[in-house]
Structure 1
Amino acid sequence: MGCDGGTIPKRHELVKGPKKVEKVDRNAERAAKWKYCALSQEKLRRPIVSCEMGRLFNKDAIIEYLLDKTAERPNMEVVTHIRGIKDIKELNLTDNPEWAGERSNTKGDVYEDLHCGMFICPVVGLEMNGKHRFCYLQTCGCVFSDRALKEIKTDICHKCGDLFKDEDLVVLNGTKEEGEKLREKMEQKRAKAKTKKSKKSKAAETVATPSESKDDTKGPEVDGKESSLQTDGESSQSDVAGTSSSTEGSKLSKSAASKRSVQEMTEKSEVFKSLFTTHSSAKRTKAQTSNWVTHTPYHF
């Protein structure tokens, strides 16, 4: 019964029971969702964006994904619904004045509050650390706590003043049920957009087809008239030549009239004519004209 040294083993050392289910640390789970990018797993830094499912990303990580979707990434299933830059919204966040940053505890001699969030609600002041429910507006991107939206019910954004509807609210890092609702909402929105595009394309086709039919109906009439126009074309050419010569003569006369000197205009006064250099008062005699003489040292 005994082991070396006279020790007696206990039951849990001899009998192997069922393995305990490992529980996820809630604090670590909250920090992973609210302090790290859902795609690159890097720390969140401005500019921060969110999708229609309410997940937080670094904007540069999303741009890299959109530029090269073939690259292998660990969390590709998180961004499969993002088709382009229009499917994300840059968030207008409010900084937490109590957040000292990452370099505040480099020595390890300062108490570090893991529950302290980088951002807060601008209305109530709650920290965005995962303990409280937060939402953002798809119209302007401003982020508020759910408590602020419930206590102050309005259709105007508390931060920027833009109008919004209840449909524009998106929950950040919600539960599974809230994620399913957001997915259904996203699919319905995209289906409506597709129907609108198809209706616009059909309307454009219907507008184009009547104009083409009108051109086709006018075609034979024009062909019937061409024969009569050809017969009259030869007779009209001589008339056109005569009219063109007359128009050219009238243009020459108009140009000659426009080039008439101001001094020859009888309707103008002498005071007005004296303003121009062609007037007799502007002309100088040889005695009045100056004679320029250049002097250089080469003459010596």
Structure 2
Amino acid sequence: MGNDGGSIPDRRDLVRNKPKAEQADKANQTRARWFFCALSKRPLQEPIVSCALGKLYNKDAIIEYLLDKTAYGDGGKICGHIRSLKDIKVLKLTPRSPPPPPDSSADVARFVCPLTFKEMNGGQPFVYILSCGCVFSQSGLRTVLGSSSPHNGNDATADESNGSSSVKDEQLEVCPQCATKFSKSSDIFMLNPSLEEEERMRVVMELHRSREPVKKSKKRKAGADVDEAAAKKKKGSPEDHPLSPAPGLNPKISAASRSLAESLAAEETKRKAGMSDAVKSLYRGKNDAPRKETFMTMGTFTRYA
């Protein structure tokens, strides 16, 4: 119990330390990235594709995602940058010889580098060429291309942003496996890069997409004809809408208005007949000449009279 005189408590008994944050197993993370699809979490099966961020997917999973964005719960977070099949590249992987038995452990790599025969299991960095899709280990491709190490397209983007023409004047390299020409500075992408490298690749991807020309939608001829006909129908023409004659007045309404006008005229005549001469002098007839004086100045001296 402690504090009763029978035992001396230690600091470990009185002070509780803050629990350490749980750390994910790096071995399991590496295994998940190199042996399983990043979207469906199923084992990688050919055809295997990769995006501009270097993630590995099963092609059928990407097609399911493009057809139905809700097919995978976190699909938008994982591969929301994939807009169509043009944003992915089918990888040309070199199978291991001899292939691993079906009942072997999942940690046994199924693919190797065709240059160095290193296993593609996450222990060595691997890259792929965008123009052809061939996959090599980074060290093997560096050895074949020369002393300069292959990049991830960042240098080409930096040169373009600085306005230099080194990318255009760069001599193209030849793929050591299929002899396809490619640019060493813009066509080599890292597979399963680190978080920092992935952020740089994302910036490069967004920059390239911002420079893409805006596609103009072409209207079909039939659709244009239908729209034109609909516009004419909506607007209308004088032939379609002839002028209709003005509606005639109701005889009952015209007779009532005529009788009302006659009664008002009779009342006005009766009112004028009962006026005195003084009151009549205030009013001017239609044929009378205009007078300079008014009823307010009548009978008074004025220089303007």
Q: Secondary structure at the match of 1:193?
A: coil
Deviation at 1:99, TM superposition (A): 4.8
| AA matched with 1:117 | A
Deviation at 1:54, TM superposition (A): 0.4
Matched, 1:22 2:22: yes
Question: What's 2:181 paired with?
Answer: 163
Deviation at 1:72, TM superposition (A): 4.6
**Gaps spanning 5+ residues in structure 2: where?**
147-172, 219-305
Q: Secondary structure at the match of 1:152?
A: helix
Q: Distance in 2 between matches of 1:34 and 1:192?
A: 32
Q: Distance in 2 between matches of 1:32 and 1:189?
A: 29
Q: 1:93 to 1:17 in 2, by over 3 A?
A: same
Q: Distance in 1 between matches of 2:41 and 2:106?
A: 21
Bigger helix share:
1
Deviation at 1:16, TM superposition (A): 2.7
Q: Distance in 2 between matches of 1:13 and 1:49?
A: 56
**Gaps spanning 5+ residues in structure 1: where?**
105-111, 202-300
Please report the TM-score for the alignment, with normalisation by the length of structure 1: 0.57
Provide, for residues 138-185 of structure 1, a one-character-per-residue CA deviation record: whole Å limited to 9, x for no partner: 111100111012111171111111111120111111012211221122
Deviation at 1:9, TM superposition (A): 9.2
Asked if structure 1 preserves the Cα contact closer than 8 Å seen for 2:65 and 2:72, the reply is no
Q: Distance in 1 between matches of 2:14 and 2:43?
A: 45
Q: How many residues align?
A: 188
Please report the TM-score for the alignment, with normalisation by the length of structure 2: 0.56
Matched, 1:121 2:140: no
Q: Distance in 2 between matches of 1:142 and 1:9?
A: 66
Q: 1:101 to 1:79 in 2, by over 3 A?
A: farther
CA RMSD, 1 decimal: 2.7
Taking only the aligned residue pairs, the percentage that are identical comes to 42
Asked if structure 2 preserves the Cα contact closer than 8 Å seen for 1:54 and 1:174, the reply is yes
Q: Distance in 1 between matches of 2:15 and 2:43?
A: 44
Deviation at 1:10, TM superposition (A): 7.9
Q: Secondary structure at the match of 1:194?
A: coil
Q: Distance in 1 between matches of 2:117 and 2:13?
A: 52
Asked if structure 2 preserves the Cα contact closer than 8 Å seen for 1:99 and 1:117, the reply is no
| AA matched with 1:119 | F
Provide, for residues 241-266 of structure 1, a one-character-per-residue CA deviation record: whole Å limited to 9, x for no partner: xxxxxxxxxxxxxxxxxxxxxxxxxx
Asked if structure 2 preserves the Cα contact closer than 8 Å seen for 1:138 and 1:170, the reply is yes
| AA matched with 1:183 | R
Provide, for residues 207-262 of structure 1, a one-character-per-residue CA deviation record: whole Å limited to 9, x for no partner: xxxxxxxxxxxxxxxxxxxxxxxxxxxxxxxxxxxxxxxxxxxxxxxxxxxxxxxx
Q: Distance in 2 between matches of 1:35 and 1:13?
A: 46
Asked if structure 2 preserves the Cα contact closer than 8 Å seen for 1:34 and 1:128, the reply is yes
Question: What's 1:183 paired with?
Answer: 202
Q: Distance in 2 between matches of 1:9 and 1:20?
A: 24
Question: What's 2:87 paired with?
Answer: 87
Matched, 1:145 2:117: no
Deviation at 1:118, TM superposition (A): 1.6
Question: What's 1:49 paired with?
Answer: 49
Matched, 1:130 2:122: yes
> Larger C-alpha radius of gyration, 1 or 2?
2
